[in-house]
Structure 1
């Protein structure tokens, strides 16, 4: 395989299992002789002033803000993330993969409002590197809430109304497919972490078979 790169974004509701699935994907892809190096990253990305502000908002330490201000913070955080980590990694000297736990689809869902629509949020992210493929893990609200309860961590800002977030995810997916030509694949997340990761891998190999491990002769 000639030198190439692959940028994957994993999206889903809080409690959808996306972080565990992303870790499993890294493990499997690192074992493949077709891939060089795999980097797992996440958003919001903490090592920036915008990232620290976002974390304080999510943990409800900052309570006064507007969707526009939060969208600007996420966009600034994302551009910094792209310039300092994602792009340099993908431009490395061998076949490289980046898997990001959340990306700009999440911004359309959580930073949009009646006064600041999807198009406005997307415009802030026009300079962000576009993923080659985005996977949205679809899981029921009940399963998400059960998983968050097991996690036993403080509730973050956007974890309360999952049904509304789900509606916005599907709207935002349709918007990005139509207006940004994004390649978004919806994945049934009701199975085990291994099953969900395998479903994503099969879609990934269908998208670009060169990443599929070669069978021994």
Structure 2
């Protein structure tokens, strides 16, 4: 059986996570791997319904505590319906965001919520990625790029540039906390160059 590997992409809004996740999935498929490409919030029918509640609407639509519960509910459904079955059959799962985003985003909204996020994760999810690619980027550049996409899912971008700066600090702090799992790459480079570096990192883990 091919080696199962759970890979996540993290970073601030507009850093290029979705692009690089897609490029990695395509490269691994060309090499003959079964790849399940997914995202959070979402990735399963139930979780996609919850996604619309989280990423659309006014910035103050939910309290940070309510967001944590919604994200955790979506993640549990995603894990049950998509991630766990794929890993069980030896596939590579490439996911745009996972629990690290909840740790950072809700912590940036209200300091002190990290213990609640971690407790719920331990009790309800109980799974960390095998490898996390953190795409680091200047918040101002990423912020304007994220708004320019105009997808209608701009609730977190609308919280402002200062919020994006706090997010970047939070992600880099997580990378220092889990250096064996989280690999930081420079998102300011050409997409092709970044793709080659990420693929090399993943090849090392697959071996």
Whether TM-score is above 0.5 comes out as yes
Please report how far the alpha carbon of residue 70 of structure 1 lies from its aligned counterpart in structure 2 after TM superposition: 0.9
Q: Does 1:120 align with 2:116?
A: yes
- Shift in CA distance, 170/203, structure 1 to aligned 2, threshold 3 Å: farther
Q: Which residue of 1 aligns with 2:10?
A: 11
In 2, the alpha carbon distance for the partners of 1:62 and 1:147 equals 19
In 1, the alpha carbon distance for the partners of 2:170 and 2:140 equals 21
Q: TM-score, normalised by structure 2?
A: 0.84
SS for the counterpart of 1:10 is strand
- Shift in CA distance, 144/62, structure 1 to aligned 2, threshold 3 Å: closer
Please report how far the alpha carbon of residue 18 of structure 1 lies from its aligned counterpart in structure 2 after TM superposition: 0.7
SS for the counterpart of 1:75 is helix
SS for the counterpart of 1:135 is strand
Which residue, 130, 133, 136 being the options, matches 2:131?
133
Q: Are the equivalent residues in 2 in contact too, given 1:43–1:100 (CA < 8 A)? A: yes
- Corresponding residue pairs, total: 202
Q: Which residue of 1 aligns with 2:22?
A: 23
In 1, the alpha carbon distance for the partners of 2:154 and 2:4 equals 33
In 2, the alpha carbon distance for the partners of 1:60 and 1:99 equals 28
In 2, the alpha carbon distance for the partners of 1:133 and 1:164 equals 26
Q: Which residue of 2 aligns with 1:32?
A: 31
Q: Which residue of 1 aligns with 2:186?
A: 188
Q: Does 1:108 align with 2:106?
A: no
- Shift in CA distance, 116/69, structure 1 to aligned 2, threshold 3 Å: farther
* Matches for 1:142-181 after TM superposition, within 5 Å: 142-154=140-152, 156-160=154-158, 161-175=160-174, 178=177
Structure 2, unmatched stretches of 5+, are none
Structure 1, unmatched stretches of 5+, are 211-217
- Shift in CA distance, 182/106, structure 1 to aligned 2, threshold 3 Å: farther
Q: How much is the aligned-residue C-alpha RMSD, in angstroms?
A: 2.5
In 2, the alpha carbon distance for the partners of 1:132 and 1:119 equals 22
Q: TM-score, normalised by structure 1?
A: 0.81
Q: Alpha-carbon deviations, 1:30-65, whole Å to 9, x = none?
A: 1114x2x001100011621x6434423421169542
Q: Are the equivalent residues in 2 in contact too, given 1:135–1:185 (CA < 8 A)? A: yes
In 1, the alpha carbon distance for the partners of 2:145 and 2:171 equals 24
- Which has the larger helix fraction? 2
- Shift in CA distance, 128/173, structure 1 to aligned 2, threshold 3 Å: farther
**Structure with the greater alpha carbon radius of gyration:** 1
SS for the counterpart of 1:125 is helix
Q: Are the equivalent residues in 1 in contact too, given 2:14–2:145 (CA < 8 A)? A: yes
